[in-house]
Structure 1
Amino acid sequence: MSSIPLVVCDDSNMARKQLIRALPSAWPFEITQATNGLEALEAVRAGKAQVMLLDLTMPELDGYGVLAALREEDLAVKVIVVSGDVQEEAMRRVKALGARDFIKKPADPMQLAEALDTLDMQLPAATESSPPPAPLKLPDVSFRDAFRELSNIAMGRAAELLARVLKVFIKLPIPNVNILEVGELHMALADAQSDEKLTAICQGYIGSGIAGEALLIFHDSEIDDVARLLNTSKDESAQLEMLLDLASIIIGACLNGLSEQLNLQLSQSHPMVLGQHCPIDDLIRINQRRWKRTLAVEISYGLEDHDIHFDLLLLFTEDSVPRLREKINHLIG
């Protein structure tokens, strides 16, 4: 054998491109790309994986499901998890399922090389008859895919802080990224039932040619449960202060995560109540003049073993998109 079969499994084109670029150039990998866990398992069963670089948050079958299937089928592959979910509990769970190492996104090339070194693999000796590895076509990365991956990493950093505050494991979704007209915000908030009362906190941000608002929506029926987790009294003013504090943590961590990746400086205003105990229709109608056309990132955090969800929208002004494209194009090369 003249190469090491390696599977790079991530639903994001940008993430796979970054990982492939981060691999040590001296290692003779034969790379197979998988966009979800089912494709990764197919590659392993076909003998295309001695090593796997595995994301956690994916459609079809997530990284936890892949690790469980590898164990159940007794498939011999050395897995390094590369994820934006940096909760301590996530790291503990993947190690318990057999992952050899955990690297946070975006992967640092030196850290990735060190993790590969610990796998104690014999590098195959090249022979004169060994054909050179076929040139690998890197994935094409669209603006939407790239911004979704950046949001995924930022979302994970916010979840890690939230998990420490609430002392629960945070279930992470795949972020939705869309250019929306204000009338389409109903679609972006599909998880929020129109007949349910909501409380919304907003926080503005501006800097480096970019501006927008973050909107964090709490379901009123769940606020008492959140208060119990934080030992907050049922007094309405105390609970509102609690929601403002949570919004500051979640929104601040997400925006800081995006800023670091894009090398931006964003100034954030203080969080404020945008609507309290009102239906989603009223929330949109009251504020539709503020939003107009927007680049919207939708994230819904879930708390494990609790019927609690936090719906987060990052709404960037239409004028911000060209600057974001410029920054992303520079990042992906």
Structure 2
Amino acid sequence: MSTRVLICDDSKIARKQLARTLPSGWDVELEYAENGQEALDLITSTAFDILFLDLNMPVKDGYQTLDALQSFTTPVPAVIVVSGDVQPQAIQRVKDMGAIAFQKKPASTEEIHELLVSLNLFSVGEQSSDNVPAVDQSSAAEEFTLNDCLQEISNIAMGRAASVLADMLNVFIKLPVPKVNILEVGELQMALDYSVKDDNCSAVSQGFVGSGIAFEALLIFNDSSFPDMAKLLGVKEQITRELEIELLMDVSSVLVGPFMTAIGKQINIDFSHSHPILLGQHVKIGDLINVKKATWKRTLAVEIVYEVENYQISCDLLLLFTEDSVSTLENLLSFLVEDDE
């Protein structure tokens, strides 16, 4: 009898990659959902044996989906969370909410095979050369955009960086779905005005370059974040402008360093980088934009908003790629997709 498997992930690339890691020849009926609500609707109408569930999704995320499943009176599938969020608290939370296992992204064929066997969800005897899991047809390589690819590798890198910051501060970091867009400088200011809710903010900038790709990592802190950040870091003395800069640099290195390491590992590039610099302190977003207006003009932007649960700490991490880098990125990431075929 076939095993009914549901893969729930907002990323077409992630759905395709996970489908391809399932044991070759496994007799499965495979379906897909792009968010937690779609998954719940499918589970309500159809019996599934296994649900592979992402955490960071729009509409209804993985946590909300697990919470909803707890109230089901009908049988629910065995839930395996597959996510780039590798914070220890995230892993423990999903298990407390009913997930039977956690697997970090990107998962290999060997990892998924071993996990399924250890959970008694698959055995070698179930393999048949006549039955191969169907790959999500909506995820054909030619349909992948640069935004799709960049969003997924940023999602994985975001989780790695958040785990380092969470360990440093002993907190839980709330993670969003990364936003990827090509923006004119005016559109960039509007996006930042919406994200940075305080009147004033402070920012650190650091340049990266490698294999024909150049970009700037910009970390923007709401000014209201400093008191709680100092508290979490055990700072007792009065918060001066000099101490604020020190806090900015410390958190910037903790977030940006692991993020870039994870990005570079996924696309096989060792990026060279400049020293981080203070771009502005207690300034408005418009002032930050004016400093770099001539440089940015039109940019491919990746935006991630990190928030610390139960604290007034919020910061934006932006990767601002040069126009010349876009074609190089497209070629590089298309090869990655082709290699996955």
TM-score, length-scaled by structure 1: 0.93
Letter paired with 2:218: L
Between 14-23 and 248-257, the greater mean CA deviation after superposition:
248-257
> How far has the Cα of 1:133 moved from its partner?
7.3
Which residue of structure 2 aligns with residue 143 of structure 1? 146
Which one of the candidate residues 233, 243, 250 is aligned to 1:245? 250
Letter paired with 1:120: N
Which residue of structure 2 aligns with residue 187 of structure 1? 190
Which residue of structure 2 aligns with residue 19 of structure 1? 18
Between 79-88 and 214-223, the greater mean CA deviation after superposition:
214-223
Instruction: Give 5+ residue unaligned stretches, structure 2.
Output: none
> How far has the Cα of 1:239 moved from its partner?
2.3
> How far has the Cα of 1:46 moved from its partner?
2.2
Between 229-238 and 322-331, the greater mean CA deviation after superposition:
229-238
> How far has the Cα of 1:76 moved from its partner?
2.7
Which residue of structure 1 aligns with residue 90 of structure 2? 90
Which residue of structure 1 aligns with residue 212 of structure 2? 209
| Structure 2 CA distance for partners of 1:281 and 1:18, relative to 1, 3 Å | same
| Structure 2 CA distance for partners of 1:137 and 1:236, relative to 1, 3 Å | closer
8 A Cα contact 2:24 2:133, kept in partner: no
| Structure 2 CA distance for partners of 1:226 and 1:71, relative to 1, 3 Å | same
RMSD of aligned residue pairs (Cα, Å): 1.9
Are residues 1:63 and 2:62 paired?
yes
Equivalents in 1 of 2:191, 2:152: separation in Å? 18
Tell me, what secondary structure is at the counterpart of 1:144?
Answer: helix
Equivalent positions of 1:45-194 (< 5 A) are: 45-74=44-73, 75-121=75-121, 135-138=134-137, 139-140=139-140, 141-189=144-192, 190-193=194-197
8 A Cα contact 2:20 2:135, kept in partner: no
After the TM superposition, list the runs of 4 or more consecutive aligned residues in structure 1 that deviate by more than 3 angstroms: 121-126, 131-138
Between 288-297 and 183-192, the greater mean CA deviation after superposition:
183-192
Between 20-29 and 170-179, the greater mean CA deviation after superposition:
20-29
Which residue of structure 2 aligns with residue 303 of structure 1? 308
Tell me, what secondary structure is at the counterpart of 1:86?
Answer: coil
1:64-120 superposed Cα distances (whole Å, 9 cap, x missing partner)? 111122221143311111001000000000111111111110111111111111232
8 A Cα contact 1:204 1:213, kept in partner: yes
1:5-40 superposed Cα distances (whole Å, 9 cap, x missing partner)? 000000000100110111111211110100000111
Which residue of structure 1 aligns with residue 38 of structure 2? 39
| Structure 2 CA distance for partners of 1:6 and 1:168, relative to 1, 3 Å | same
Letter paired with 2:251: L
1:125-168 superposed Cα distances (whole Å, 9 cap, x missing partner)? 99xxxx96795443132221111011100111110001011111
Number of matched residues? 327
